[in-house]
Structure 1
Amino acid sequence: MWMTWGRAVRLLRGQRQLWRSLCLDRGDTSPGKPPWKVLFFGSDQFAVESLKVLSTSRKCDDSVVQCLEVVTLPGDVPVKRFALQDSLPLHPWPPDISPGQFDVGVVVSFGCLLPPKIINKFPFGILNVHPSLLPRWRGPAPIFHTVLQGDQLTGVTVMQIRPHRFDVGPILSQESYQIQTQVTADELGDILAVKGAQMLLDTLKNLCEKLRNKKEQSTTGATFAPKISTSLSWLVWEEQTTLQIDCLSRAIGSRIPLRTLWMGRTLKLLDYVGKCHSVVPDGSATLVPGSVFYLRESNILSVRCKDGWVGFRSVLLKKRLTAADFYNGYLHQNLKSCSGPSAHAVFVSGRTGQANHNNHLHKANLPTT
């Protein structure tokens, strides 16, 4: 049966609208394939890796990116430095852009919640590169919490941003990564930054297909990764195990030194060496958590925690001191003033330290080492 001209036009329009609905969340007049006009939102070093990959893509024969501009935060942040170095146009936050000026937005470690009025200006929405296997570790510090909790598996998720809440949008791409033993948060961040940048590029190459096949996040298994605060660095010797202190050091130690109290003063513990074995003579189990000894042969301070001993090569009091300097200048002097051969020093946990800072020397049925 022959169709009327009007019916044919309506059918064609319906087919075009169906294609758009499969590729997009809303109607659009964009061509629906690369190269894209991209507006990048980012701030820190993790974001720079994705920005580098997008910038390089502009210069390739099979370019995924036609136009690349950058939104970043005030101050001398890594993304701004790279954008200036690579001559990428910069926009202040919040950006003053027109609907359809860019095809798609990309957010990587930006730190600000994008309102609907910005999201709706991008025909293909806004993508986010997030360094965790969402819904685990939603929030601003997923890498730190991954290491802090001793996770053995992590990964990267490329998702589509939704308004009003962080990290809840549908997943376009997700890949796992087996965490290596003793990796630090900084090292893991470098690995996931490279992985995330390549996943982002692949997602943009196949954006319409990825959007058609996107899936909602699981309603179970969600955890939150808040910003790391300095309060987390206080050690609680009687509660934390050697494994927990090890994870804490690898998670935050390069940025926030671990801390304890000694004679009522804050002591920063530096150059963590891990779990110590056979640090004192037999009977060490009777020593209270926080007990500290100087081990001359290895030149470390060994401190008792809940289930064992951990070591540090240096401390920061008024200035940075090696373990030997701290022992000779402080620990040894105080031990000489305390009667009894079994006296030894005790570091006090931050949580209880203000009430008990005078208990910095303790007598036990052990000789000093």
Structure 2
Amino acid sequence: TWHLQYTVQAKSLDRMWTRRCGCVGGALRGLRAAPRPRRSCATRPGPPWRVLFFGSDGFAAESLERLHASSSGPAGGIVETLEVVTLSSSAPVQRLAERRGLKVHSWPDVDAAGRFDVGVVVSFGCLLPERLIGQLPCGILNVHPSLLPRWRGPAPVFHTVLHGDTITGVTIMQIRPKRFDVGPILHQEVCRVPERCTAEELGASLATVGARLLMETLENLPERILHQQEQSKEGATFAPKINSAMSWILWEQQTCVQIDRLYRAIGSRVPLRTVWNGKTVKLLDFVGKCNVSFFDSVLKESNILAVFCKDGWVGFRTVKLKKSLSAADFYNGYLHQGFQKRVPAEQVCAFRSGGAKKDAAPTEHRELTSTTTSRSMLEKPRSWW
């Protein structure tokens, strides 16, 4: 009876309000049809969370593995449900998700509204739209392998090694729309960069740290969000993608240390390159700085091709033209006959800086003039073994 009386009264008031104000549908009808408020992270006491994971590479797979272990573990875990968004069917994250029986969504057809509490993005490579971020009550967390704001961008680990940083770390931040790596910091840990490590070795180490920090953040996420810290406006640097143009060695400008860092940063993905007799040569199996004189024979015994750069000699064990050759085979097949026709002071292999137009170094560094080359080769031979 009460419900019937309320409904009749409401309809009567609606008609009266519509006649007086010209409102379509009525104020009370709008109040009755209002949706329930969306659950927010601040009002939920804590885990387990419904997680939507965005990732692609091996670095991301480490975090996904930890999340899955929590979801499939004993009662009281951090993760209630876990689903995955990835970009490629061949990506490590895709393969891991298939092995673990996780549901995979195709990008960009993702609708998270009402189905997940929080998102986690690790090495995904795409800017997430504001609409998607807003669908997740606790927002989207990002595992970033640097001490933000240093090395914002897609390749922080490579640039950490390339620039000789001795300290790095991992940052857990909450992403914001329209820009990469600028959101507030929820968790951060400093790590020492091992001496002479490669980017792959450092990345694997930071992936383990990042997965642990992610789980620590999810354990008390509402509190972490409550005490989040904005990134400093000072000290921000950008880490652009690695590209093939970076692999050209500038012998006249780069020191032994710089070439060593370049090799450890990108050498396993993009071989270092130079020019010999107008042909592109890839230099593999870098051995570091060589303490040699012009007439030293130890390099031949060690099967090392030594090349002179800005401040000394650096060595390589393998040279690749059409196929890979050892330093000895390169000498016997390409250098020995030419050396026999020259006086001792001219027995050098003239490597030159630069490369093809598509991905060459800057024009002024692309190639030495013949006059400069002859003089520099006689005074400081470009290579010897």
Measured against the shorter chain, the TM-score band is: 0.7 to 0.9
Contact map agreement 2:112 2:132 (CA 8 A) in 1: no
Match of 2:11 in 1: none
> What is the CA–CA distance in structure 2 between the aligned matches of 1:44 and 1:295, rounded to whole Å?
39
Is residue 346–residue 359 contact of structure 1 (8 Å, CA) maintained in 2? no
Aligned residues: 334
What is the alpha-carbon distance in structure 1 between the residues aligned to residue 234 and residue 112 of structure 2? 38
Q: Which moved more, 1:48-57 or 1:89-98?
A: 89-98
- Counterpart residue identity of residue 307, structure 1: D
User: Which residue identity does 2:50 align to in structure 1?
Assistant: K
1:47 and 2:60 correspond: yes
Q: Give TM-score scaled by structure 2 length.
A: 0.82
Match of 1:288 in 2: none
Provide structure 1 residue ranges, at least 5 long, that are not aligned to the other structure.
Answer: 1-24, 283-292
Q: CA RMSD in A?
A: 2.3
Name the amino acid aligned to 2:45.
Answer: G
- C-alpha distance in 1 between matches for 2:208 and 2:109: 27
8 Å contact kept, 1:264–1:354:
no
Following the alignment from structure 1 to structure 2, what is the Cα–Cα distance between the partners of residues 96 and 365? 63
Residue 325 of structure 1: aligned partner: 329
**Contact 1:34-1:63 within 8 A present in 2 as well:** yes
Residue 143 of structure 2 is matched in structure 1 by: 129
2: CA distance between counterparts of 1:137 and 1:365?
40
Change (3 A) 1:342 1:353: same
- The structure having more radius of gyration, on CA atoms, is 2
**Deviation of the 1:346 alpha carbon:** 1.5
SS in 2 for 1:296: helix
**Change in 2 beyond 3 A, CA 1:88/1:357:** farther
* Residue type of the alignment partner of 1:302: A
**CA–CA distance in structure 2, aligned partners of residues 247 and 100 of structure 1:** 47
Contact 1:242/1:275 (<8 A) preserved: yes
Partner Cα distance (2:312, 2:163) in 1: 19
Correspondence for 2:229 among 192, 215, 222? 215
Report the residue type matching 1:238 in the other structure: E
Q: Which residue of 1 aligns with 2:19?
A: none
Partner of 1:295: helix, strand, or coil?
Answer: helix
- Of 129, 137, 144, 2:158 maps to 144
Q: How much has 1:365 moved relative to structure 2?
A: 6.3
Quote the residue 2:4 is aligned against: none
Q: Which residue of the partner structure matches residue 21 of structure 1?
A: none
2:343 to 332, 340, 349: 340
The answer as to 2:314 corresponding to 1:310 is yes
Return the match for 1:177 from 191, 215, 223. Answer: 191
TM-score normalised per structure 1: 0.86
Q: Which digits, 9 at most, give the CA deviation of each residue in 1:18-63, with x for residues without a partner?
A: xxxxxxx995696331000000000001000000000000122330
Which residues of structure 2 form unaligned runs of 5+?
1-37, 355-360
Displacement of 1:101 after TM fit? 1.0
Q: Find the residue that maps to 1:297 and give its secondary structure.
A: helix
Q: Does the alignment pair 1:263 with 2:266?
A: no
Residue 345 of structure 1: CA displacement? 1.6
Shift of 1:334: 2.0
- The correspondence for 1:96, drawn from 110, 119, 144, is 110
The structure where helix makes up a greater share of residues is: 2
Identity %: 57
AA aligned to 1:48 is A
* CA distance 1:365–1:164, change in 2 (3 Å): closer
- Equivalence for 1:289: none
- Once residues 170 and 366 of structure 2 are traced to their aligned partners in structure 1, the CA distance between those partners, rounded to angstroms, is 40
Cα offsets for 1:250-305 (capped at 9, x unmatched): 000001000000000000000000011124349xxxxxxxxxx9921211000011
Verify the 8 A CA contact 2:41 2:222 in the aligned structure 1: no
